[in-house]
Amino acid sequence: MAGVTAADRGREVRQRLVAAATELIVERGWSAVSTRVLAERAAVAPGLVHYHFSSLRSLLTEAAVAAMREAAQVVDPLLARAGTPEDAVDLLVGAFAEYTGDEPVSLLFTETYLAATRDEELRRAVAGVAAEVGDRLAVWLGERGVADPGPTAAVLIAAIDGLLLHRALNPSLTADAVAPVLRRLCAGPEPRRSGP
């Protein structure tokens, strides 16, 4: 193919490897992905896995973290649409309603969190994604007068992550059931009642 450089071919192979890694994490779990299986899925020679990545683990990490970042990209447009913190909660929880716990994104998150308990590099990378989203959310909440915006954002992110993990176990954790509870985190203090 004219005009295709070695760098172009290298980028294309890396993209195929990352896509194959993402699929295999979902299908088999982290510990069942081997270099051979991954190379077969990506339709490349096994040696190319280690040519493009320092280790199989680093490839799996890159694939999972990229998928998590992609899922998190929904946050900024939703915050731009939200008028109040309570609206933001409704939009954020609603955006993740499509994740049932047994579809690919939920399975990727579940497998990645489990692997992160045993892999410090992966744990730091996943924590970094959560911190990036949490920092942006905290700024947004702070601009709207929410008390303790940093911890509030961290709890909201953890709650949404928890929903992704628990939906397969408890399908009743719908957006309608959960949003009212999370809205209270962002609401101002209730007025004090006087008298008995």
Question: In angstroms, what is the C-alpha Rg of the chain?
Answer: 20
Alpha-carbon dihedral of residues 4, 6, 12, 14, nearest 10 degrees?
-170
Q: What dotted CATH number matches 6-186?
A: 1.10.357.10
CA distances from residue 37 to 17, 23, 50 in whole angstroms, order as listed: 11, 11, 14
Mind listing the pLDDT tens digit for each residue in 70-116? 989 999 999 999 999 999 999 999 888 788 888 898 899 999 999 99
Tokens of 173: 């954790």
- Whole-prediction pTM: 0.83
Which of 98, 28, 97, 100 lies closest to 63 in space, CA to CA?
28
Q: What is the pLDDT of residue 2?
A: 59
Which residue is listed with tokens 């700024």?
Answer: 139
**Which one, of 159, 185, 163, 161, lies nearest residue 172 by Cα?**
163
Query: Which amino acid is located at 74 in the chain?
Result: V
Residue 36 has pLDDT above 70, yes or no: yes
At residue 121, the 3 state secondary structure works out as helix
Task: For residue range 148-186, list pLDDT tens digits in order.
Answer: 999 999 999 998 888 878 887 888 888 888 889 888 888
CA distance 102 to 90: 22
- Which residue is listed with tokens 């209730």? 190
Contacts of 41 (CB under 8 A, 6+ apart): 20, 23, 24
